[in-house]
Structure 1
Amino acid sequence: MHTTEDFRQKRIPLAHGSGAIPVMGFGSLIPDRAKVKPAIKEALEAGFRHIDGAELYRTEDLVGEALKESFEAGTVTRDDVFITTKLWNNNHRPERVKPALEASLDRLQLDYLDLYLIHTPYAFQAGDEQYPMNDQGTPIYDTEITLVETWRAMEQLVDEGRVKAIGLSDITLDKLKELVAVARIKPAVVQVECHPYLPEWELLEFCEQHGIVFQAFAPLGHGMDPKITDDPVITRIAEHVGRTPAQVALAWAASRGTAFLTTSTNPAHIRENFDVSSLPQVAMQDIRERITTEVRLNAVVDTGVPGFVPRR
């Protein structure tokens, strides 16, 4: 007999840092700046308690304004909300890590972060240009800096108390293994593209073995083709359990013990994406065995350039 688990209030304990991260998070990668604040405030009102940002998105200032207004309105308190942002590739040199954090905190109007992630394991040429490019149109990498050196600077932020937990985004299993082997403070969270077309079972198993929270971004495929919510296995399960295909894909993520991020500017979709509960085991098995499509939608793990983020 299937006992339904409601994920709306569930949190996953962290190996270090702010206690626990909400299973359900809301992302701030919203290209239309006019829609960022209303979306963040709507998400908080709907019940989301994790807001995920990044220096790269260039929306931290608007996230900060939305948080400040929500605090002042009494919608949430600072202690209620788990806030994440990310160090971008042009700030990987150790001496640039703390200033990058301070700049993000200023934009977010916060005194500390619950989680700070290295956005990708690739170091770009240091400077103010987010995408330093050569004549061939490919990134100029900083080959003198290793990921471990950047991680040591991240560890220092935890020591100083401005960041409660640290982790990594867009990382492969091999690179994660190398870092975990030498890290003084182990990653608390790993955030990667993950959905039924890219289940990342090996990476998930490694994270479970080492007490690292696995967090899925693009759990609905970020609207790219092939569309996960059009998959016949997903739609059939949705009809059977009386949920939408999006709710089924999100429930798959949470039911396997991972956290996830969604993003929308549509109030109805924001609330739909927060109304997620567990799937029957037979549905989980169907998704694992009957979905044969395998696709990575974002090539960031190969280049350090996120395919979902508009270039400016």
Structure 2
Amino acid sequence: MAAKIPNAIFSNGNSIPMIGLGTWNSPPGVVTQAVKDAIEIGYRHIDCAHVYQNEHEVGDGIAAKIQDGTIKREDIFVTSKLWNTFHRPDLVEGALKVTLKNLKLAYLDLYLIHWPVAYKEGDELFPMGPDGKTFIFSDADYVDTWKEMEKLVDAGLVKNIGLSNFNSKQIQRVLDVARIKPVCNQIENHAYLHQSKLTAFCREKGIIVTAYSPLGSPARPWVKKDDIVLLHDPILKTIADKHGKEPAQILIRYQIQLGHVVIPKSVTKSRIASNFDVFNFELDADDMKQLAALERNERICPEFGAFGHPHHPFEKEE
């Protein structure tokens, strides 16, 4: 089954499976089984991050499937991300080595700078200021962080490096100094938020877009009772009925047809399997047009606590 997954090709010639299992907001007690289930179903791409605080358990799941012979290390593509408190150049390699230890891996396939904003260095992932709303910032510049990311490739600790939640001006700043160019930008992308200017810029620069929260992140911790639920959109439901598919499958297929890598999150085996079952149909031009027209420019993950940071990517929309 895994062989049927299409790949996106990075600018350096390396490839990444176009669908992966997201692990954000996946509790440590269940994410190990979710990873094992995903690999058994056919996923060959797992997306992780230090800040998710579950990489040890994700690593247990990967290790179990390598140990039982389901996969070899080279069969699975593993992404992780450098958190905002480790942007200072002298902290970058150490942060990666913690992630590698937790994941029980000798190398990562892809390592991303999680956000362009740097937070105060230390043990707190979200160092909170006296107002209780805004994080304490660091003056570390992501351009200097990038130069350390490049050294991780040189050392053989990561195969590819990229960005996450960077706007086009910030990407260009990195490109202007990069010895090794970023291969991808992982951003929020779904039918209510296309970020079309940013995705077009990435395409122009040969940077693959990975879409997180492709289903609208209905289980996000800060969801409000009256928030509009993308999965309940009547137009989406009509398209799903037309194809005999679930709304979630339409949204995942939509991202793939846009040329994006997509990383839906679930810890339920049936849903993990359903999210993967998107390669036996195609959305037609009318479907794509209707989904594009759902645009609301509503951001689910605005990182409010970093508002006021000089490097906040989306406080002032491009």
CA distance in 1, matches of 2:217, 2:60: 25
Which of 258, 268, 271 is the matching residue for 1:269? Answer: 271
Alignment of 1:101-120 (within 5 A): 101-120=96-115
Residue 155 and residue 167 in structure 1: after superposition, are their counterparts in 2 closer, same or farther (change >3 A)?
Answer: same
Question: 2:315 maps to what in 1?
Answer: none
Structure 1 consecutive aligned stretches of length 4 or more whose deviation exceeds 3 Å? none
Secondary structure at the residue paired with 1:262?
coil
Question: 1:140 maps to what in 2?
Answer: 136
Secondary structure at the residue paired with 2:217?
helix
CA distance in 1, matches of 2:69, 2:228: 41
CA distance in 2, matches of 1:254, 1:125: 37
- Measured after TM superposition, the shift of residue 31 of structure 1 is 4.1
Which of 40, 52, 76 is the matching residue for 1:81? Answer: 76
1:194-216 Cα offsets, whole Å, 9 max, x none, are 00100111111111111111000
CA distance in 2, matches of 1:193, 1:8: 26
- Structure 1 residue 238 and structure 2 residue 240: aligned? yes
Amino acid at match of 1:16: N
CA distance in 1, matches of 2:118, 2:299: 22
Which of 105, 121, 125 is the matching residue for 2:116? Answer: 121
Secondary structure at the residue paired with 1:264?
coil
Question: 2:91 maps to what in 1?
Answer: 96
Residue 215 and residue 199 in structure 1: after superposition, are their counterparts in 2 closer, same or farther (change >3 A)?
Answer: same
Question: 2:7 maps to what in 1?
Answer: 11
Amino acid at match of 2:247: P
8 Å CA contact 1:171, 1:301 repeated in 2: no
CA distance in 2, matches of 1:154, 1:39: 29
Secondary structure at the residue paired with 1:184?
coil
Which of 53, 61, 64 is the matching residue for 1:58? Answer: 53
8 Å CA contact 2:186, 2:210 repeated in 1: yes
Question: 1:166 maps to what in 2?
Answer: 161
- Measured after TM superposition, the shift of residue 178 of structure 1 is 2.2
Which of 271, 295, 298 is the matching residue for 1:295? Answer: 298
CA distance in 1, matches of 2:206, 2:242: 34
8 Å CA contact 2:191, 2:295 repeated in 1: no
Question: 2:287 maps to what in 1?
Answer: 283
Residue 123 and residue 101 in structure 1: after superposition, are their counterparts in 2 closer, same or farther (change >3 A)?
Answer: same
- Measured after TM superposition, the shift of residue 80 of structure 1 is 0.7
CA distance in 2, matches of 1:29, 1:204: 22
Question: 1:3 maps to what in 2?
Answer: none
8 Å CA contact 2:135, 2:305 repeated in 1: no
CA distance in 1, matches of 2:285, 2:176: 35
Amino acid at match of 1:10: P
Alignment of 1:186-205 (within 5 A): 186-205=181-200
What are the ranges of 5 or more consecutive residues in structure 1 without an aligned counterpart? Answer: 1-5, 306-312
- Structure 1 residue 257 and structure 2 residue 259: aligned? yes
Question: 2:150 maps to what in 1?
Answer: 155
- Structure 1 residue 28 and structure 2 residue 3: aligned? no
8 Å CA contact 1:197, 1:293 repeated in 2: yes
Which of 155, 173, 182 is the matching residue for 1:178? Answer: 173
CA distance in 2, matches of 1:8, 1:192: 25
8 Å CA contact 2:93, 2:152 repeated in 1: yes
8 Å CA contact 1:7, 1:23 repeated in 2: no
Amino acid at match of 2:270: A
Question: 1:309 maps to what in 2?
Answer: none
CA distance in 2, matches of 1:70, 1:106: 17
CA distance in 2, matches of 1:286, 1:22: 26
CA distance in 2, matches of 1:33, 1:169: 23
Question: 1:310 maps to what in 2?
Answer: none
Residue 32 and residue 302 in structure 1: after superposition, are their counterparts in 2 closer, same or farther (change >3 A)?
Answer: closer
TM-score, scaled relative to structure 2: 0.89
Which of 248, 251, 259 is the matching residue for 2:250? Answer: 248
CA distance in 2, matches of 1:300, 1:134: 15
- Measured after TM superposition, the shift of residue 292 of structure 1 is 4.5
8 Å CA contact 2:193, 2:295 repeated in 1: no
CA distance in 2, matches of 1:114, 1:246: 27
CA distance in 2, matches of 1:112, 1:94: 20
